[in-house]
Structure 1
C-alpha cells in the first residue's frame, strides 16, 4: 500500500528541506486516517515486507519476483518514516525475516477470526483474496489509495469464477507477472476457473492431465509446478507457530 501511495502522489511535490521525499508517507498515512475514520476498527496493525532475497518463497523458487524494476530512489527511506509515524501513533508494526507482509496478514486474519472478530485486510496484492472467509474481508484499492472497496467471497466468485480459497490455484495456472510466475501457456482465467471447478483444485488438475489432453493439458503438466503453487499462496501455519 505504501508503494501504491508513492505512485499516487508526485514525489517532486512532497519533500523535506533535506531532500527526503515523503509522498508515500503522506499518501499512506492519509489513507490510514480515512480507513480508521470509516471502518472504526477496535485493533490496528501494519505489516511490512522484508527483503525479497530472504523469503522462503525465494529459497523454494529462485526466480520469484525476478525481473522487477529497481526501487525508485525517491521511495527509499520512506518505509522507515512510515514506521516512525506508526510508532508515534501507537500502532503496532510487524515484519518477520523470511516472510512477506501478506503472510503476516494471513496470520493476523486467522487469529482474529478464531477470536471472534470481523477482520479487514487492506492490501493491494490480489494474493490476499485467498484469505477471504465469512468473517475476513479484503479492502482492495481500485485506483490509488482513495477508492478502496470491500471484497467478499461473492465479489471474488463474480470476478474470477472461483471461491477465495482457490484463488492461489488460479494464480498458479494463469501466472502472476508481478511475481514472475509464468503459469501454464495458453491458459487464461476462464479456462483455469473451469478446470479448478471441475477437478477441485490444482492437485486435482495435475491428477487428471490425461482427461484434459491437447497442447494445453500437456503444457500444464510441464509448467505448473509445486513451486508456482507455493509462491502464489500465503503462509499462515508457519507464521502462527512463530513468536
Structure 2
C-alpha cells in the first residue's frame, strides 16, 4: 500500500493549543483570544511541511451527546465546561479549514475517535494505509499492520509512527488488549471508572497472564489476595468501562479515503489569517503582511518566546555555568541534587518539616498540559534553597507509594489555611489536585502572577524557565532535556533521579 490517509484528531490539537498558551494568552486585533486558532494551524502547516500528505482529513467530535453518554451519564461529566473563548475559536478554525480545502468529518452521536476507527477499517479495503494523529490512549487499540498512530508532544505532530511493537514496548500490552487495559485501570480523563484499586502495573500483569478481560474472570479463583477481591467487586464496572472504551468502527458516514485528497488553497484562507493578526503564518504561506502600524498578534511559542527571538542558550548536563549571547553567566543544577520520597516515614517527616516552616514551595508533575485530562505523575516540595524532594506517583521500575497514601499524607499540609504555598501557575495544580480528590486551602503566592505584576509589558514572558534566568540567573533543566521530544513518554518513564532533578528543581 503506497497511499496513506492521515486522520487528524481536530479537537485534540485545538485543546492542546489552547492550554499550551494558557499562561500567556494570544489575542487577535479585535481583542479576542486566538491561541487555539494559531496553535492549530501552526501545527497543521508544520505537519504538511514535514509529512507532505496527499490524503488527509480532520475528524471532529459530536456537538450532541454520544451513545456513551446515554449508557453512562457520568461519562466525561467531571470535566469543566469548555471556556467560552475556546469554544468561540472552534467555528473560526472550521471556517479556515473549509477555505483551505481540508476535508472535515463530524457525525453527531459519535466521537472523533469513532470516526478515526471507521476510517481505519475503510483504508485497507481501499488500498490505503492509515496514520492517525492523536495523543488519546484509547486510539492505540486501532494499531495493526495497516494502521499506525503518530503521537507528538504537546501541539507537535512530528515523531515516530507507533506500531504494535511500540505500543507493547511503552505500555506492556498489545493494541488489541487496550480496551481490556482501560476496562481495568479506567480512564480519568473520560471519567471511565475501571476497577477500583487496579492500576497500570496490575492491569499489565493480569493481561500478560490471562490475555483478556474474559480470561481474567474465567480464572478469577486463580487470582490471589486483594486483587481477587477488587476484581470481583468491580466486575460490573470493568465490563461497562470496556464498552465505553471500545471505539465504534462502523459509524454511518461517507468514508472513501481517495475522496480526501489534500490540495491546500492558501490563497482563499490568507485573508482570514490576516484578520486574526497572525503575521508569521501569513508570511509562511507566502502572503502579504499587515502594513506597519496596524494591529497584529505577536505570536509566541509554547515556551513564551517570540518567533523572531534569535537568542540561544547552550545546553549543559553536567552542572555549573553557561553563557548567554549577552555574556551573563547562568548557574545550573548539578545531577543528583535532589531526593525522591519512597517511604511513608520519609513522607511524614517532610510534611512535618514543611508544616513547621509555615511556608513551602509546591509543584505537580502530570502527563498533560490540559488540567482537565492530566493525571498525576508526581509532586515536589521545597523548604529552602537547594533543599527539595520529589514524590513519584508513577515511575517505571520503582516501588512508589500508592496514590491514596500520598494524598492522605500530604492532605494535612495542603489543606492547612495557616500555611503559605508558593507555586507557579497554581490554578493548574489546583485543578489537577481537585480532580484527584484534594483541595488546596493554604494561603497562596503565585510567582507567575507576581512576575506579571512586576512587569506588565506585552512582550514579557512569565514561564518558570524565563523567570529563573531573569531573576535568579539560573538555567533550569528543560522538560526536553529529560523526556525525548516527540515521544509518548512522560516523566514516569525516565530514570527516577533524572525525574527528581527536573521536578524538584521546579519547586526549588
Q: TM-score, normalised by structure 2?
A: 0.45
1:230 corresponds in structure 2 to: 243
- Unaligned 5+ segments in structure 2 are 1-12, 255-508
Alignment of 1:55-204 (within 5 A): 55-145=66-156, 148-204=159-215
Q: Which residue, 215, 218, 235 being the options, matches 1:207?
A: 218
Name the structure where helix makes up a greater proportion of residues: 1
Greater RCO structure (CA 8 Å; 6+ sep): 1
Deviation at 1:69, TM superposition (A): 1.7
Q: Is it true that 1:220 corresponds to 2:235 in the alignment?
A: no
Contact 1:142 1:149 in 2 (8 A): no
**1:124-144 superposed Cα distances (whole Å, 9 cap, x missing partner):** 211111111112111112234
**1:70-123 superposed Cα distances (whole Å, 9 cap, x missing partner):** 212321211111111110111111111110000011111111122221211111
Contact 1:176 1:183 in 2 (8 A): yes
Deviation at 1:145, TM superposition (A): 2.8
1:8 corresponds in structure 2 to: 20
Q: TM-score, normalised by structure 1?
A: 0.91
CA RMSD of superposed structures (Å): 1.9
Q: Structure 1 residues 103-112 or 207-216, which shifts more?
A: 207-216
Q: Secondary structure at the match of 1:44?
A: strand
Question: Which is greater in Rg?
Answer: 2
CA distance in 1 between counterparts of 2:130 and 2:107 reads 21
CA distance in 1 between counterparts of 2:125 and 2:23 reads 41
CA distance in 2 between counterparts of 1:69 and 1:13 reads 19
CA distance in 2 between counterparts of 1:14 and 1:98 reads 32
Q: Which residue, 33, 50, 54 being the options, matches 1:21?
A: 33
CA distance in 2 between counterparts of 1:105 and 1:48 reads 10
- How many positions carry a matched residue from both structures? 240
**1:165-201 superposed Cα distances (whole Å, 9 cap, x missing partner):** 1111111111111011222233222221221132221
CA distance in 1 between counterparts of 2:23 and 2:153 reads 21
Name the structure where strand makes up a greater proportion of residues: 2
- Unaligned 5+ segments in structure 1 are none
Deviation at 1:164, TM superposition (A): 0.8
